[in-house]
Structure 1
Amino acid sequence: MRNILLAYDGSDNAKRALQYIIDFAADVPKPPQVHVLNVQQEPVLYGEFVTAGTVDELNQSFIDKSNRTLADAATALQTVG
């Protein structure tokens, strides 16, 4: 079994890489196992009035964005099994 790790951020380059994997999987008798990874850079916050709530909200927004991005890739990959 082949394993492929795809770093995916939703950019045009990432979409091309995803399409390449989809095309590759369609051409081989046994599709590879694809692991999709999305990494977000931790925000740098400046100022005296940054609260824990603000940090939590920012972190949650990054998690939500990452989940949406990964869901898009997963949907595309499910078309080939």
Structure 2
Amino acid sequence: MITRASVRRCRVEFHKPLPSVATKRDATTSEGTLEMKPTSSGYADVNGIKLYHETYGNGEPLVLIHGGLTTIGEIQGWCSRWRRRGR
């Protein structure tokens, strides 16, 4: 059971950069973090909702859906590792 006291003791940190693996397509920003460029991006109409998407790599697709307070920029570290095996 989650109590108010246990919630107050929890320390949650958001917006920490994820580790990334440098590749030829990566560029270093002024802050020294890696930035990846998607191979394609755009909007898709999904059940009347305009949904933004980015594609990295080639091959079998792996769909990542961010949630909560996570942004597409924060999962780029994951994309750099997985794009070698798929897109």
Shorter chain as normaliser: what TM range? under 0.3
User: Given the two structures, how large is their TM-score scaled by the length of structure 2?
Assistant: 0.25
Greater length-normalized contact order (CA 8 Å, ≥ 6 residues apart): 1
- Structure (1/2) with the larger strand percentage: 2
- Structure (1/2) with the larger helix percentage: 1
